[in-house]
Chains A and B, each alone.
Chain A
Amino acid sequence: MSKIKLKVNSRLLRKKIRKQSYLTPKHCRFCGNPDQEVFLDYKNTALLKSFLTERNKILPSRVSGNCFYHQRHLSAQIKLARSMALLPFCAMHI
Chain B
Amino acid sequence: MSQQLLQHYELLLLAKTEITDDEQSMVKKEIENLVTACSGTVDQFDRWGKYRLSYPVQKSDYGIYILVRYSLPKSKAATELNDALITLLKIKCNDFVMRSAIVRLDGKPSTTYEKPEALDAAGRTANVDSLIRENNIDTLLSSVDASIEAGEAQRSATFDDSDTIEA
Contacts and interface: CB of A to CB of B under 8 A. Distances in A.
A46 B12 contact: no
Contact of A42 (B14, B63, B99, B103): B103
Please report whether the interface of chain A is mostly helix, strand, loop or mixed according to DSSP.
loop
Interface string A63-85: 00000000000000000101111
B116 interface: yes
A31 interface: no
Nearest to B100: A84
A85 B14 contact: yes
B12 A85 contact: no
Contact of A85 (B55, B67, B103, B110): B55
Given A83-B99, A84-B101, A86-B116, 14 more contacts: A41-B113, A42-B103, A43-B116, A44-B113, A44-B114, A46-B116, A80-B103, A82-B54, A84-B14, A85-B57, A85-B99, A88-B55, A89-B55, A92-B55
Interface of B: 12, 14, 53-55, 57, 63, 67, 99, 101, 103, 110, 113-116
Interface of A: 38-39, 41-47, 80, 82-89, 92
